[in-house]
Copies of this chain bind each other. A is one copy, B any other.
Amino acid sequence: MNDRILVAPTDLLGDGVFETVHLRPAGPWLLDEHLARLSRSAAIVGLPEPDLTPVRERVFDTTGVLRIVYTRTLLDISIAPFPESALRERHAGIRVLSADRGISVRRRPPWSITGAKSLSYAENFAARRWAIRQGADDLIWLSTEGYVLEAPTSSVVWLTGDELCTVPPAEADILPGITAGHLLSLAPSVGLRPAERMITLPELAAADTIWLTSSLRGMAEVTELDGIPRPRSPWTPRLLSLLGL
């Protein structure tokens, strides 16, 4: 825990990729999916295919958080305690703001790396700190065209009738959410229809329920969006249970 690692100064320039995996009592949750996404992110930032044997062969005898970092010079595995805040948000829900990220989805540059989980995470942290200064817990990013994108460290999932939706990652040029994808794949088992849709903020606000999903939170229900309270959903405990939480 809280290991220190030896790096080259250039490793500190955010030019690499990472994954955060929930270490559950049964082992690392959805590890294959995380490793596949790490490889995909690496390709987006022009890194060679990583050799993930050290991760696959490692035996994890603790719960908590597994972080895998891959740069041009290193593949590092570290383990940290599970953050209390994620547990709290999972059960109490979160108050969320929406905010224009100032980025267009229609005019993405050819070198765009927003679809990779890159180590250049400063904007994600800065946006989250801004939301907290406004008295919220988190924020949802919108494109300059008004489309719902993602949250700085989570995917947006919503329920309208019996349709469980998320944002299409390729079309929105966002990170494919592993928890969101897993949840949608399980939706039919509880009578819900999975779908991916580009939506605007008013459309999202009109959904029955909104969640932010991520590996550590699992899913956190949005109990307030832009200052407007939202009724709690009976689906939250059902879907958390689907995720084994």
Contacts and interface: CB of A to CB of B under 8 A. Distances in A.
Contacts of A8: 2, 4-5
A108 B102 contact: yes
A98 to B, nearest CB: 11
A6 B9 contact: no
Interface residues of A, number: 49
Interface string A106-150: 011111110010111111011101100000000000001000000
A118 B120 CA distance: 9
A20 to B, nearest CB: 10
A242 interface: no
Interface stretch (A10-18, A180-188, A224-232): A10-18
Interface in A39-91: 45-46, 67, 69, 71, 76, 78, 80
A129 B112 CA distance: 11
A19 to B, nearest CB: 12
Nearest to A127: B111
Contact of A103 (B80, B103, B119): B103
Count of this chain's copies in the oligomeric assembly: 2
B12 A144 contact: no
Contact of A12 (B119, B125, B126): B119
Contacts of A109: 99-102, 127, 130
Nearest to A17: B122
Given A110-B130, A127-B109, A16 B12 contact: yes
A79 to B, nearest CB: 9
Given A107-B102, A122-B120, A129-B46, A4 B2 contact: no
A80 B104 CA distance: 37
A7 interface: yes
Q: Which 5 A-B pairs have the closest CB atoms?
A: A14-B14, A120-B120, A111-B130, A120-B122, A111-B126
Interface of A: 2-9, 11-16, 18, 45-46, 67, 69, 71, 76, 78, 80, 99-104, 107-113, 116, 118-123, 125-127, 129-130, 144
